[in-house]
């Protein structure tokens, strides 16, 4: 089975993408590894030239997307698993966020993901099979201070992925959202941008504390990216993959806390909710 499936993975230079690529290669899959700087991923092809293809890919570059998909089909004839991993973070209070930075993040985290997905979908539909792995975050389910616009990108990925999963079900194409909490992928370091607060009231509040905590906690996160990669392999190999998979104890705790409280609030206000309809 592993020799027949072809994986296409974005953002393979470091972090989740790198670990997933390594494990997929070790498992015997045919793998297309991509990154903005191809020099950072060519080592993955050494000794695996027949089964591994390294390609340059900036997910905000439509021409590079088309070329990467075309070269993949030319070499392997199909794409069975798409892993949309490429993404960036941005830390700031909502009030002080810089629009240029937030738009850039949307171009990568949301539009880049969707442009790659839409380029792959015709091939998966013609095969009548496929699996799309979209990296979201626990931040796609629940929100924290200093990450407002990052959350917005991930909530968008969550919403469109859920719709996409319903549209693609008749074609035997699965969609799975991966929702990690803090992992040692340098997401809070190299892969993110920060705008320090200059508003005194915010600096002394949870905003200032969170921005400082991100720097102090970088590299000490509880999540093991190698284990996250193992989870992705398992999800792809199962016959009934989940729509969502939380990764990490903190993700589990944060999600269950939010949804238990949400359900409690829904029930508390149920009478007003249902009475908003026309009377039958």
Q: Is residue 198 annotated as a catalytic residue, yes or no?
A: no
CB 37 within 8 A of CB 86: no
> Closest by alpha carbon to 247, among 21, 16, 82, 31?
16
**Nearest-angstrom CA–CA distance, 49 and 25:** 11
Catalytic pick from 92, 93, 136, 181? 136
Q: Is residue 50 annotated as a catalytic residue, yes or no?
A: no
Catalytic pick from 154, 165, 181, 192? 154
> Closest by alpha carbon to 129, among 188, 173, 169?
173
Q: Is residue 150 annotated as a catalytic residue, yes or no?
A: yes
Alpha helices in the chain (DSSP H): 15-26, 62-76, 99-106, 113-127, 148-168, 200-203, 206-217, 225-237, 249-268, 270-274
**Nearest-angstrom CA–CA distance, 197 and 95:** 9
Catalytic pick from 150, 155, 165, 181? 150
Residue 62 makes CB contacts below 8 A (sequence gap 6+) with 115
What is the set of active-site residues? 136, 150, 154
């Amino acid at each position: 089975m592993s020799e027949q499936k072809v994986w296409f993975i974005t953002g393979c230079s470091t972090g989740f993408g790198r670990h997933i690529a390594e494990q997929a290669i070790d498992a015997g899959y045919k793998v297309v590894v991509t990154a903005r700087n191809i020099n950072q991923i060519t080592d993955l092809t050494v000794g695996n030239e027949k089964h591994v293809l390294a390609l340059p890919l900036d997910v905000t570059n439509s021409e590079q997307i088309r070329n990467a998909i075309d070269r993949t089909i030319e070499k392997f004839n199909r794409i069975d698993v798409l892993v949309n991993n490429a993404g960036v973070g941005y830390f700031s209070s909502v009030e002080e966020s810089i629009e240029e930075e937030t738009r850039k993040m949307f171009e990568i985290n949301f539009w880049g993901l969707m442009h790659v997905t839409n380029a792959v979908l015709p091939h998966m539909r013609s095969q009548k099979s496929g699996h799309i792995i979209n990296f979201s975050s626990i931040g796609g389910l629940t929100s924290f201070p200093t990450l407002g616009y990052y959350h917005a990108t991930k909530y968008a990925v969550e919403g469109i992925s859920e719709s996409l999963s319903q549209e693609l079900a008749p074609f035997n194409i699965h969609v799975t959202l991966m929702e990690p909490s803090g992992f040692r992928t340098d997401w809070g370091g190299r892969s993110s941008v920060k705008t320090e607060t200059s508003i005194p009231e915010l600096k002394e509040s949870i905003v200032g504390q969170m921005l400082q905590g991100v720097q102090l906690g970088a590299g000490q996160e509880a999540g093991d990216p190698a284990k996250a990669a193992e989870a992705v392999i398992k999800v792809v190999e199962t016959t009934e993959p989940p729509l969502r998979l939380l990764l990490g104890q903190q993700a589990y705790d944060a999600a269950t806390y939010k949804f238990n409280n949400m359900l409690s609030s829904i029930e508390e206000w149920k009478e007003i909710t249902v009475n908003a309809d026309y009377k039958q």
